Amino acid sequence: MAQRARNILFIMCDQLRWDYLSCAGHPTLRTPNIDALAARGVRFARAYCQSPICGSSRMSFYTGRYVQSHGAAWNNFPLKAGEMTLGDHLRPLGVRTALVGKTHMKADVDGMARLGIDPQSVIGVRVAECGFEPYERDDGLHGSGPDGKYDPRAPRYERYLNELGYAGDAPWDDWANAGEDDDGNLLSGWLLKHSRRPARVREEHSETPYMTRRAMRFIEDAGDAPWCLHLSYIKPHWPYIVPAPYHAMYDEKDVVPAVRSEAERADPHPIFREFMNHRVGKAFSRDEVREAVIPAYMGLIAQIDDQIGVLMRFLEGRGLMEDTMIVFTSDHGDYLGDHWLGEKDLFHDASVRIPLIVVDPLPQADATRGTVSDALVESIDLAPTFVEFCGGDPIPHRLEGRALQALLHHREPQQWRRYAISEYDYSVSPTARVLGVRPMDARMFMVADERWKYVHAEGFRPMLFDLEKDPQELADLGADPAFAGERARLLDALNLWARRQSQRTALSEEQILGMRGRSLRRGILLGFWDEAELPDELVHEKWRGARRALEPR
Amino acid sequence: MAQRARNILFIMCDQLRWDYLSCAGHPTLRTPNIDALAARGVRFARAYCQSPICGSSRMSFYTGRYVQSHGAAWNNFPLKAGEMTLGDHLRPLGVRTALVGKTHMKADVDGMARLGIDPQSVIGVRVAECGFEPYERDDGLHGSGPDGKYDPRAPRYERYLNELGYAGDAPWDDWANAGEDDDGNLLSGWLLKHSRRPARVREEHSETPYMTRRAMRFIEDAGDAPWCLHLSYIKPHWPYIVPAPYHAMYDEKDVVPAVRSEAERADPHPIFREFMNHRVGKAFSRDEVREAVIPAYMGLIAQIDDQIGVLMRFLEGRGLMEDTMIVFTSDHGDYLGDHWLGEKDLFHDASVRIPLIVVDPLPQADATRGTVSDALVESIDLAPTFVEFCGGDPIPHRLEGRALQALLHHREPQQWRRYAISEYDYSVSPTARVLGVRPMDARMFMVADERWKYVHAEGFRPMLFDLEKDPQELADLGADPAFAGERARLLDALNLWARRQSQRTALSEEQILGMRGRSLRRGILLGFWDEAELPDELVHEKWRGARRALEPR
């Protein structure tokens, strides 16, 4: 029986916290469709992004490599030409690898020019788009300021809005991400006070349903050939505003109290202190901000959940459920005021932990359907998971994660990682300037094991949390002498990881093993005194005279 | 006054020990021309290669990056397409960057195909040739065995030999690297016993003078435009055979006793032990082998020295001395029986320490002419030295070494490295197979400071030498509890190095600093509650209605 086409639907939200799903325990937010995915697959409850910021997190997802390995360490840092991506691994397996939505990929324009890669060629477009065929590329933020637009590209979505009658040259900003007051004044969704307003578009015209329809159009167009579609929503990333009826679906009563303590603000780690001083951290430390934003954030997630339902019914209708791996995840979280912070960047769970649900349709995965795994999972695990699902051989010399099939196909995996790593480059942040840290040194590493979370900040003392005794991560033990042993152990783990082989990507282990002993039979003769010491097969005809001369007469 | 053209003559020998020069203290070997370079420049007496084996050492020289950073970790491991090289850094400065001789570069054929780089194009040839314009590419080893030739390329040198009447399809092997006995039997230079025979070519037809003439031809062809020429001799690398009169210039009396002790063989480090068990280690532990080989090795060096003289007179004759930086070095050393070893691979000075003489013609370098520097120098220091010499800005995000001008232009440099690093990947070696070490783990790192040399072997105990008390490196203190503190300190240095930022090559520090605070003025508004909190210049016209509505009536 011919193998059926194998597809992967790789769904990512932006800035969706791991705990803002009903299946993850949120007390009031209802996400029945995403829960249904969890019921059909495995929810990985201890999954970490490789970097709690959009750009570098995504580059790690898409290369299957740590940030220290690929170097695209923050937003808009180019991914250097030559780095291999999901597309490079899946396309040779016959899998069309395409994108609808956001990647935050910044092309290495200089590198492409240096290598003579024509940006208009098929290869050039893929290199510039992080290995994806850009069915629709839209990084989701289309605001502007005195220095111009944040994103120079003109998204198809804005033409779509214009065609529907949302007029002007900035419909994303003015309609999809703004409300209005009773006098008709435009109220920008960028401004937190306006978060509870309905966005000025019909629900079906807003970004999430639009991208969902684009994804369905791709799947229709793709026909019978296997595909991997990265459907990458911008929401619930700010601007925190959502159209009716989602804007009113939740209110202050649904706002979970912030996880923070006064003790955190007394003598904090210097980097933590500086991030608390950012405008957004101070804003989210105000209750009125949380009460305005979080219901909108929840509404955006509810809308996503509804669209997941639409998508799943579409897949079912086309008979694709049995052949399609479905992944639902996020690039990082959102502090939403926890720990006196907003945004992401640092390593508390609210920021670095990500939702991750994987539905593997194969029978081998029946063993774990509907279960929750507490294994330490890293976002780079998806790349080898996809390669294995599509029938490829493991490529550990290129992909640094572990295929999740070990956890999906077995309730008790034999061997799994003991430490999870994440990284953050704060060289662009005002924090680096204030603390006088050079771009080369503005780096932090997280090492988490089953119980402890350790944060190494080059040039500063570390941070340490006991996740068993202090699951809310309120007590930083990084300077407490009593925990020197734990810190030393976790630093050892970080250093072992840092010493890893990550760049020897041009040769597989098999190829290296195949090189052993080869040069001898190609004329490289080391340590032989004379012809008598040579094995017969290595004695050239031309040397036989000399060899005979050695024989006793 | 127009700036005169700036040239670089980057001369490399293969397998030339740091101490086989008269200026380095060899008791009988005479190298007056190389000594003359040292008298005109600086001899760096504590210079280390980045990896004691041809391929990876050279890839580090040519990229200016550590082995762990570029990943071409051993001979014939491809340098991945995209890695930047000397040519990429110097060509934009108007400097033609060319090669005569050996690089040991293995093109990343798969990577080039994946990126659509045509191997026949100008860019493609450069990418395949490690950034050099291959005026003459010849990796110097043209033997063969039952499985065919070691090097599939047909070198111009063999056509040259044929044209001169050295007949046959293997003239390099049969004439330039073989002797003969009284009966006319061919005696291969591969076989150590025959090392003292004269090679069967006229001296002027042998490899070193041939390459020297090719270098001079390049310089003639290059005209007035600035050039960087990598003149890369294969000798004194084996086959250890040299034409008359050099074969008889030295004899047993010139053989320096081996640096080795019985204590080394009693309970050695497991990796050391296995390398001692290699055929070549056992061979060089026999006095008859050393007495045959070393005089030939010395003769090869004497011939190189004579050719350096020819080259320098040629440069003087063309008036190029004032404008040309001259570098003389080697990719690694040769144990020649020291420590019961042959070849290179491990980290004793005989192997990892390299000769390095730099003549900087600029007046600023007058301060140090004729001096010897004991600063810890790494071979990757040459790349930034060349960039600075050619007028380029520093590129520390790409080049990991330090420009030597700090040592060339100042007798007392302000700041220099405290630790030198070198690396060795033994995954192809029988040692890995015997010890059961997987290719991913078969790695060693050396950390040397002013006094100590520490060798970290992943999965094994370390090695440690006190270079002050034990300059001959005979007493491995790696398991001695009394030295745990030193080992810990040096391991810390290794780990700090391992945590470095090496892959963030697409953006300079200046570019990163220029990114700070930019997104605010491009519409990324984080943490603003309402229009009143926004600075005036960030309030779009369309939001002014809402702003006025906030004003008290």
Decide: B406 and B414 in contact? Cβ < 8 Å.
Answer: yes
Judged by CB atoms closer than 8 Å, whether chains meet at A521 and B147 is answered as yes
Band of the pLDDT at A1, cuts 50, 70, 90? very low
- Say if residues B44 and B375 touch (Cβ distance below 8 Å): yes
What value does the mean pLDDT take over residues A301-323?
97
In sequence order, the 6+-apart residues with CB closer than 8 A to the CB of B16 are: B236, B301, B304, B330, B333, B334, B354, B355
Q: Do B515 and A76 touch (CB under 8 A)?
A: yes
In A121-249, where does DSSP find H-type helix? Answer: 122-128, 156-163, 171, 207-222
B12 DSSP β-pair partners: B232, B329
Query: Using one digit for the tens of pLDDT, what is the confidence trace for A367-419?
Result: 999 999 999 999 999 999 999 999 999 999 999 999 999 999 997 777 899 99
For chain A, give the percent of residues with pLDDT over 90.
97
- DSSP state at residue B69: H
Identify the closest residue of chain A to B439 by CA–CA distance.
Answer: A509
**Residue B2 above 60 pLDDT?**
no
| pTM score, whole prediction | 0.97
> The tokens of B151 are what?
């090097």
CA distance, residue A403 to nearest chain B CA (Å): 18
Asked if A150's CB is within 8 angstroms of B283's CB, the reply is: no
Give the mean pLDDT of B358-380: 97
Q: Are B392 and B433 in contact (CB under 8 A)?
A: no
Cβ–Cβ of B512/A427 closer than 8 Å? yes
Q: Which amino acid, residue B480?
A: D
Question: Among A463, A421, A422, A456, which Cα is nearest to A441's?
Answer: A456
Tokens representing A127 are: 């290199």
User: pLDDT by residue (tens digit) across A63-76?
Assistant: 999 999 999 999 99
DSSP code of residue B172: I
The whole-angstrom separation of Cα B501 and Cα B89 is 20
Q: Which three-class secondary structure state does DSSP give residue A79? A: strand
Chain B residues in contact with A438 by the CB 8 A cut-off are 509
A69–B503: do the CB atoms touch at under 8 Å?
A: yes
B412: confidence class by pLDDT, cuts 50, 70, 90: confident
Nearest to B445 by CA among B382, B487, B399: B487
Q: Do B540 and A76 touch (CB under 8 A)?
A: no
Environment class of B254 (CB within 10 Å of its CB; exposed 0-12, middle 13-18, buried 19+): middle
Residue A139: predicted pLDDT: 98
Report pLDDT for B151: 96
Q: Please tell me which of the candidates A495, A524, A529 has its beta carbon nearest to residue B193.
A: A529
> Contacts of residue B116 in chain A, CB cutoff 8 Å?
117-118, 121, 123-124
The shortest C-alpha distance from B399 to chain A (Å) reads 13
Give B183→chain A minimum CA distance, Å.
9
**Nearest Cβ partner for A506 among B80, B428, B521:** B80
User: At residue B1, does pLDDT exceed 80?
Assistant: no
List the helix and strand counts (H, then E) for chain A: 20, 21
Phi, psi of B349 (to 5 degrees): -55, -35
Helix A54-63 vs helix A382-389: angle between axes, to the nearest 10 degrees? 30
The pair of structure tokens assigned to B19 is 């101490």
Q: Which band of pLDDT confidence, cut at 50, 70 and 90, is reported for residue A553?
A: low
Measured between CA atoms, the residue of chain B closest to residue A439 is B509
Which chain B residue has its CA at the smallest distance from A141's CA?
Answer: B524
- In this prediction, residue B428 carries a pLDDT of 95
Q: What is the mean pLDDT of residues A359-364?
A: 97
What tokens does B94 get?
A: 């108007």
The answer to whether A512 contacts B427, with C-beta atoms less than 8 Å apart, is yes
Q: Which residue of A has its CA nearest to B284?
A: A527
What does the pLDDT look like over A151-206, one tens digit per residue? Answer: 999 999 999 999 999 999 999 999 999 999 999 999 999 999 999 999 999 999 99
Please report the domains of chain A, with CATH numbers, ordered by start residue. 7-418 (3.40.720.10), 517-550 (no CATH)
Instruction: Give, in order, the Cα–Cα distances in Å from B122 to each of A114, A132, B129.
Output: 11, 28, 11
Q: At CA B131, angle to CA B160 and CA A59, rounded to 5?
A: 150
Task: For residues A346-357, give the mean pLDDT.
Answer: 98
Instruction: Give the span between the Cα atoms of B233 and B15, in whole angstroms.
Output: 10
Burial of B282 (0-12, 13-18, 19+ CB in 10 A): middle
Candidates A428, A494, A497, A553, partner chain B, best to mutate (most B CBs within 10 A): A428
Closest-CA residue of chain A to B341: A527
- 3-class state of residue B508 by DSSP: coil
pLDDT tens-place string over residues A210-227: 999 999 999 999 999 999
CA B375/CA B418 separation, integer angstroms: 9
| CA distance to partner chain A, nearest, from residue B463 (Å) | 17
* Token pair listed for A527: 């340590």
Cα angle value A441/A445/A447 (rounded, 5°): 160
Distance in angstroms (rounded) separating the CA atoms of residues B421 and B51 = 9
Residue type, A376: L
Bridge partners of B149, per DSSP, are: B144
> Is the confidence at residue A3, as pLDDT, over 60?
no
pLDDT at B312 over 70: yes
C-beta atoms of A397 and B525 within 8 A: no
Picking from A107, A97, A100, the residue whose alpha carbon sits closest to that of residue A136 is A100
Per-residue model confidence as pLDDT tens digits over B336-366? 999 999 999 999 999 999 999 999 999 999 9
3-state secondary structure B358-384: EECCCHHHHHHCCEEECCCEEHHHHHH
Q: Which of B184, B282, B515 sits opposite A428 (nearest CB)?
A: B515
Indicate yes or no: CB of A280 within 8 angstroms of CB of B526. yes
**pLDDT tens-digit map of A444-460:** 999 999 999 999 999 99
Cβ-defined contact of A73 to B501 (cutoff 8 Å):
yes
Identity of the residue in A190, A504, A527 whose CB atom sits nearest the CB atom of B283: A527
**Strand B463-466 to B452-457 pairing:** antiparallel
Question: Residue B387 above 90 pLDDT?
Answer: yes
Taking an 8 Å cut-off on Cβ atoms, the answer to whether A526 and B69 are in contact is: no
> Average pLDDT, stretch B314-325?
97
* CA pair distance A6, A1, nearest whole angstrom: 14
User: What single string gives the DSSP state of each residue in A380-411?
Assistant: GGHHHHHHHHTTPPP-TTT--S--THHHHS-S
The angle that helices A207-222 and A156-163 make with each other, rounded to 10 degrees, is 110
Are B538 and A498 inside 8 Å of each other by CB?
A: no
Residue type, position A308, single letter: I
Nearest to B521 among A116, A146, A523 (CB): A146
Q: Can you tell me the distance from the alpha carbon of A341 to that of A270, in angstroms, rounded to the nearest whole number? A: 14
With CA atoms as reference, the chain B residue closest to A83 would be B82
Gap from A235 CA to chain B (nearest CA, Å): 15
- Average confidence (pLDDT) over B440-459: 97
- Which residues, at least 6 apart from B275, have a Cβ–Cβ distance to it below 8 Å? B281, B341, B345, B346, B429, B431
Yes or no, beta carbons of A445 and B499 under 8 Å apart: yes
Q: Does position A2 have pLDDT exceeding 50, yes or no?
A: no
Per CB-CB distance under 8 Å, the chain A contacts of B282 are 527
Enter the tokens of residue B344: 């290179």
Q: Find chain B residues with C-beta within 8 A of A70's C-beta.
A: 503
Nearest CA in chain A to B527: A280
Average pLDDT taken over every residue of chain A: 96
- A343 interaction partners in chain B (CB closer than 8 Å): 526
Cβ separation of B504 and A71 shorter than 8 Å?
yes
Exposure b/e, A412-448, CB count within 10 A at least 16 = b: eeeeeeebbbbbbbbbbbebbbebebebebbbbbbbb
Q: What is the distance between the alpha carbons of residues B370 and B362, in angstroms, rounded to a whole number?
A: 14
Average of per-residue pLDDT values in chain B: 96
Average pLDDT of the residues in B462-466: 98
DSSP strand pairing (B198-199 vs A324-330): unpaired
Q: Is residue B5 pLDDT above 90, yes or no? A: no
Ranges of H-type helices in A91-131: 109-114, 122-128
The whole-number pLDDT of residue B553 equals: 67
Residues B49 and B422: beta-carbon distance below 8 Å: yes
Asked if residue B3 has pLDDT above 80, the reply is no
Chosen for mutation from B74, B76, B115, B282 (greatest number of chain A CBs closer than 10 Å) is B115
Nearest to A521 among B146, B183, B282 (CB): B146
Looking at beta carbons, which residues of chain B come within 8 Å of A335?
none
Q: Can you say whether the dihedral through the CA atoms of A20, A25, A29, A35 is positive or negative?
A: positive
Q: ∠A355-A272-A264 over CA atoms, to 5°?
A: 90
Q: Under a CB-based contact definition with an 8 Å cutoff, are residues A503 and B77 in contact?
A: no
CA–CA gap between residue B303 and residue B309 (Å, rounded): 10
- The answer to whether the Cβ–Cβ distance between A517 and B438 falls below 8 Å is no
The minimal CB distance from B516 to the residues A82, A425, A433 is found for: A433
Pick among A60, A130, A188, A344 to test the B interface (most B CBs inside 10 A): A188
